[in-house]
Each structure stands twice: as structure tokens, then as C-alpha cells.
């Protein structure tokens, strides 16, 4: 695209108007070719997944089907600021990766990705030998990345010349143009709200560059959309569910995967390469929409229930057989299906708490990082953990869990809510999570046609509410969707923290909150029948 590789021009930021319009020109070229049927489909993963969805905003009559996979719907909520908390671990590293590519330092860009994968998997005997692991620990991140970059640099340094550029002049022009490229991380530092627009960067405002901000045009295209995601892939399972419900002519597939679908996750077990035939699914969809082969799904929702290892079908999302169960937070730090008396509990901020290097967020940069939370038990020790009763028959949670808190604090804060399963031996297994910065607690009405499936917060500056000392706050935190079997004899747990230092920018606000037990609860969507 313009502003990248050896292309001249500049890249102001993701999915700018010029970049989206360029996609229409590519389609024009395709349909002029003698081999073209005049019917075009597009697919992609991550950035390219959003690119194929944004292609529909052009309303090009030739584009009749797209399959956005493992990709965002809202750049603010799904990746840059989930719940209003800045996912700075990702935005900083992704911006640096882009800059290295723009500067034709591809070997250093690859070193960034390989280091993330290596550090996340350095404890696996099958991945690293003990001497290699010791070397990684001793060298530290900077030296390790330089060594990896040196190895890649032997084979490829980027900026390869193209046929029309025998003297290398286009590469030199491109490098000059790329110096004007935007920096996503810097833009996020300048704006903390969904409606913020950085000076001179109107072209890359959150609403402009997101499919969510272009839903009317995408619907008007009339194209079929295959919404495709994984339960452990950043905020993108939420994107897939919202895309399915907010657009017509869609089908939804949600599987046991992290980013890009490389790994299949089996909670409590070793993560393994995914054996699912992703390519077969894509060919089925495009054969139907581009060639007229096959019929549309009568039950367009297919999803995988973790732990039970079972694929299911439904006519809607959430499935029609789901009912919500409410568990009250009690003064004894339990989750009770019965009402409980009110009492104040303290939840303190632990600056050292983080969810580690094998999380749903790390895979956004490098899909080969497993999102299996192998040490979640030890990480949540000492945090505010509320445990439910033993489940005699087990339960299947499918949909969007919801946490409702009544709390007070002296200043603004971010609350992180984690849903987990506790085994009879005390092992704690991660299920899902949700976040909310307190100033964004106001509930509103979503724009026409947008279906959030969770309490709607606009995250816009005009709706921000201050946090005043001693004033009781109502917080409704939508957790990321899942389908998970809590086994008989196991218990459900809710973990509350005031941050995740491994991924999100710490908020300089309240060091603790007071939580009103008896008036706070978690709702879980449970399958019946």
C-alpha cells in the first residue's frame, strides 16, 4: 500500500481514506482482466482482515463477499483502548514494528516478532533447549533482538528493488516519503477518548478508520460477510460477534483459537497447533458467494465450546437456549446464587500484577504466542478473588458475561474483571476478562444498527463522568464472549484487579476502591437443554 515497502507516498495511519480508495482501484484492475468473472471476494487476517472489510465501504458493485478473520470492528474498543484502558504494550510495539518496515529494516522488524515469541515460549522444553533458554535470560531483550536481527539481516534487509527501479531511485524516494508516516502509539498518547482527533490527523480518527464507523456503507454494499474469530484472540471474538449481529447477510464462526488461528487452546492442557481446516471454510464460503455453489447456512452461527471440545450450531448469537444466572458478591468473598447482606470490601491496586507473556493480548503482535495463561493460579494469588459454589452438574457458559459493581474511590481507576474456573485442587483457569475505566461508566444508546451485546459505553469525551470522593458508582463491565464448560465438581470465580501492568498503561489514580458486597454481582450466560 502507499507509504509502505518500496511504495512511495506516506501512510497517515491505519485504513485512511486514501488507502481504502486504493482498494477500489485494485478491484477496477481485477475486473478488467480477461480471467475475471467480474465477481470479487476478499479475505485477510488482522490488519488485512480489516482492510477487506473496509473495502466494502467503497460500495464497489464487483465486491460481493468478504471474510474478515481475527480482526477488529472498532479500533478503539477492540484493540487500542479496551474498556477505555490503553493497551500500550501492543500499540507501542506495533508502531515500532511498522516504523522498522517503513525504514526498510525488515530484519529488525522480524527480530521484534521473534523475540516476543521466544520470550513467551522460552520455558517450553520442546521449543528451547536449556542452554538456549539460559542464553536468552542472560542476554536480555536488547542484545537478543540485535542478535536475531543480525541473523535475519544475512538473508534480507528489506526494500528490494522492483523491475522499474534498476537504479534504486524509487527506494530512495520511498524512504523520504515514509518519514512522514503516522505513528499509532503517539496518536493514542495524544487522545484517550473514542471521539478524540489528534491535530493534523483527522484522517485517522477512531471512527473514520474502523468498520464500525462505516457500517452504513458496508451494509449498503450488499456483500456477504463471513465473520471469523477465536475465543482467545485479543478483543476480536467480540468484534466477530458484533459484526455478525450488526450486518445483514453474515455468518459467524468462533473457534478455540488465538490470533490468526495458528493454535487450538484446550484450557488446562498444552496448547497445540490448530488442526482445523481454515482453508476449507474459506473455499466453501467463496464458492457459494462467487460461484453460486452450495446453499447459505440455515443456522449461520457455529461455535466451539472449550473444555467440552464440541462444535455447535445456532440460528442467532447469543444462541437462543442461553439464560443468564446472577451470582452475588458476598462479604466473605464468595459468589452466591442467593441475595447477600451489604458490606464494604477493599480491592487494592497491586502494581506488580500482570497476566503474563502468554495472553490473548500478546498474540496480536505475533500469532505464534499461545494464549493459554499457564501460570494464572499463581498470578491471581493475593488479588481479590470471589469463588462460587461447587457445580454439581457443571454448566456451559456461552455468550457475554457481565459484572455489575457498586464501588467508591478517591480518584479515577480502571477495574479489570477476570472470569475463571477453580478445580477441586485449587488450580485457577482463565476463562475471559473485561475492563472499564471509571470515567466511562455512563450507559448510553448505541448508534442505529450497532449491536454491542454488552452494556453500552460511548467512551466519548462528552459522556465522561468524574470520580468524586465517597460517591457511590455504578459500574457495568461487559466481559469478552466465550463458550466454556465448567466441569462438575469445579467452581466459578471472579477476580478483580485495578490494572494489568503487563499490557495496559497503569492509571495514576486511586490506589484502592471500596466495593459494596451484596449489591455487586456477576451474570453468566448459561446454556439450557
Catalytic residue positions, numbered: 46, 233, 259
Local structure of residue 222 (DSSP, 8 states): -
Using DSSP, state whether 64 is helix, strand or coil.
strand
Of 286, 285, 266, nearest to 274 (Cα)?
266
- Positive or negative torsion for Cα 429, 259, 218, 193: positive
Whether 500 and 383 have beta carbons less than 8 Å apart is answered as no
Cα gap 145→326, rounded to integer Å: 48
Of 71, 78, 54, nearest to 1 (Cα)?
54
Cell of 186: 503517539
- Positive or negative torsion for Cα 332, 337, 340, 346: positive
Whether 56 and 218 have beta carbons less than 8 Å apart is answered as yes
**DSSP labels, 118-132:** HHHHTT-TTTS-HHH
The span from the first CA to the last CA of the chain, in angstroms, equals 50
Cell of 123: 520455558
At residue 432's C-alpha, the angle toward residues 275 and 190, to 5°, is 105
Place of cell 503516522: 182
Q: At what angle do helices 88-102 and 106-121 cross, to 10 degrees?
A: 150
Cα gap 95→92, rounded to integer Å: 5
Whether 409 and 398 have beta carbons less than 8 Å apart is answered as no
Kindly give, in sequence order, each residue whose CB lies less than 8 Å from that of residue 140, ignoring residues fewer than 6 positions away: none
Cell of 422: 477453580
Cell of 224: 456477504
Strand partners, 505: none
CB atoms within 10 A of CB 174: 22
Of 473, 462, 456, nearest to 519 (Cα)?
473
Q: CB-hemisphere CA count at 13 Å for 504? A: 31
Using DSSP, state whether 32 is helix, strand or coil.
helix
Amino acid at each position: 500500500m502507499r507509504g509502505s515497502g518500496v511504495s512511495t507516498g506516506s501512510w497517515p495511519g491505519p485504513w485512511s481514506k486514501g488507502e481504502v480508495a486504493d482498494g477500489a482501484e485494485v478491484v477496477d484492475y481485477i475486473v478488467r482482466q480477461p480471467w475475471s468473472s467480474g465477481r470479487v471476494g476478499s479475505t485477510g487476517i488482522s490488519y488485512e482482515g480489516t482492510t477487506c472489510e473496509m473495502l466494502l465501504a467503497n460500495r464497489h458493485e464487483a465486491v460481493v463477499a468478504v471474510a474478515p478473520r481475527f480482526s477488529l470492528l472498532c479500533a478503539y474498543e477492540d484493540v487500542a483502548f479496551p474498556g477505555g484502558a490503553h493497551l500500550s504494550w501492543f500499540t507501542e510495539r506495533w508502531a515500532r514494528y511498522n516504523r522498522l518496515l517503513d525504514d526498510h529494516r525488515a530484519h529488525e522488524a522480524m527480530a521484534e516478532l521473534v523475540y516476543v515469541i521466544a520470550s513467551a515460549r522460552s520455558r517450553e522444553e520442546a521449543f528451547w533447549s536449556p542452554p538456549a533458554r539460559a542464553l536468552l535470560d542472560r542476554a536480555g531483550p536488547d542484545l537478543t533482538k540485535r542478535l536475531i536481527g543480525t541473523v535475519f539481516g544475512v538473508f534480507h534487509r528489506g526494500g528490494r528493488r522492483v523491475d522499474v527501479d534498476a537504479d534504486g531511485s524509487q527506494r530512495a524516494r520511498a524512504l523520504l516519503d515514509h518519514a512522514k508516516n503516522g505513528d499509532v502509539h503517539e496518536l493514542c498518547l495524544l487522545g484517550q477518548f473514542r471521539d478524540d482527533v489528534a491535530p493534523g490527523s483527522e484522517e485517522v480518527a477512531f471512527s473514520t478508520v474502523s468498520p464500525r464507523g462505516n457500517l452504513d456503507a458496508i451494509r449498503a454494499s450488499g456483500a456477504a460477510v463471513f465473520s471469523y474469530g477465536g475465543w482467545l484472540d485479543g478483543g476480536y471474538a467480540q468484534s466477530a460477534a458484533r459484526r455478525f449481529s450488526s450486518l445483514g447477510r453474515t455468518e459467524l464462526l468462533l473457534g478455540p483459537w488465538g490470533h490468526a488461528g495458528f493454535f487450538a487452546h484446550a484450557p488446562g492442557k498444552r496448547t497445540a497447533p490448530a488442526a482445523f481446516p481454515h482453508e476449507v471454510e474459506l473455499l466453501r464460503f467463496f464458492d457459494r458467494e462467487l460461484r453460486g455453489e452450495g446453499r447459505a447456512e440455515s443456522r449461520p452461527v457455529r461455535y466451539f465450546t472449550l473444555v467440552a471440545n464440541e462444535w455447535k450450531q445456532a440460528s442467532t448469537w447469543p444462541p437462543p437456549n442461553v439464560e443468564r444466572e446472577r451470582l452475588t458478591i458476598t462479604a466473605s468473598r464468595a459468589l452466591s446464587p442467593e441475595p447477600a447482606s451489604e458490606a464494604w470490601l477493599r480491592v487494592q491496586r497491586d502494581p506488580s500484577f500482570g497476566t503474563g507473556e502468554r495472553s490473548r493480548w500478546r498474540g496480536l503482535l505475533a500469532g505464534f504466542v499461545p494464549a493459554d495463561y499457564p501460570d494464572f493460579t499463581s498470578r491471581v494469588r493475593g488479588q481479590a478473588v470471589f469463588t462460587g459454589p461447587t457445580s454439581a452438574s457443571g454448566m456451559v457458559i456461552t455468550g457475554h458475561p457481565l459484572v455489575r459493581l457498586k464501588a467508591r474511590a478517591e480518584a479515577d481507576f480502571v477495574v479489570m474483571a477476570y472470569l475463571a474456573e477453580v478445580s477441586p485442587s485449587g488450580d485457577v483457569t482463565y476463562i475471559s476478562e473485561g475492563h472499564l475505566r471509571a470515567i466511562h461508566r455512563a450507559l448510553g444508546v448505541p448508534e442505529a444498527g450497532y449491536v454491542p451485546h454488552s452494556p453500552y459505553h460511548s467512551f466519548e469525551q462528552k459522556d465522561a463522568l468524574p470520580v468524586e470522593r465517597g460517591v457511590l458508582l455504578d459500574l457495568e463491565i461487559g466481559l469478552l464472549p466465550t463458550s466454556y464448560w465448567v466441569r462438575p465438581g469445579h467452581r466459578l470465580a471472579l477476580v478483580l484487579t485495578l490494572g494489568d501492568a503487563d499490557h495496559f498503561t497503569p492509571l495514576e489514580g486511586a490506589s484502592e476502591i471500596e466495593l459494596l458486597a451484596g449489591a455487586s454481582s456477576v451474570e453468566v450466560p448459561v446454556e439450557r437443554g
